[in-house]
């Protein structure tokens, strides 16, 4: 809200600063990631990475432990361009929104513009 007030008073300007990488959203669906990557162990490993986090959005805590590096460490052939969108499609926007509430709230605000 503070950024909105400083940059613009226009209600159509809805800033969103994603404090994590795209791969944090992928952590919303460990089973789907395992399916797309044909890796049966991956869902268990991803859940272990999330054990100390409230949401996947809280997973980004350092250069070596950011979501993309975690995922790459768990599945070395993971490629954001080739796999990321396929995993996200399988997870579905509804689950990503509920599992990643900051992202979900931003989308809800954007959707409110059409009313």
Q: Domain-by-domain residue ranges, the chain? A: 12-107
Mean of all residue pLDDT scores within the chain: 87
> Is the distance from CB of 74 to CB of 13 less than 8 angstroms?
no
Predicted local distance difference test score (pLDDT) of residue 109? 83
Average pLDDT of the segment spanning 87-112: 93
* Selection from 114, 110, 108 nearest residue 94 by Cα: 108
Average pLDDT of the segment spanning 70-80: 95
What is the per-residue pLDDT across 32-69, written as a single tens digit (0 to 9) for each? 999 999 999 999 999 999 998 889 988 877 888 889 99
If pLDDT is split at 50, 70 and 90, which confidence band does 91 have?
Answer: very high
pLDDT at residue 1 is higher than 70:
no
Residues in the chain: 115
> Is the distance from CB of 65 to CB of 74 less than 8 angstroms?
no
């Amino acid at each position: 809200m503070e950024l909105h007030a400083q940059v613009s008073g226009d209600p159509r300007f809805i800033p969103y600063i994603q404090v994590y990488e795209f791969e944090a959203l992928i952590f919303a669906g460990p089973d789907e990631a395992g399916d797309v990557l044909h890796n049966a162990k991956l869902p268990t490993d991803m859940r272990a990475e999330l054990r100390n986090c409230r949401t996947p959005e809280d997973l980004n805590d350092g250069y070596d432990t950011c979501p993309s590096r975690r995922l790459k460490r768990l599945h070395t052939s993971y490629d954001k361009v080739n796999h990321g969108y396929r995993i996200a499609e399988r997870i579905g926007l509804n689950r990503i929104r509920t599992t990643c509430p900051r992202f979900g709230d931003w989308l809800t605000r954007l959707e409110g513009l059409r009313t």
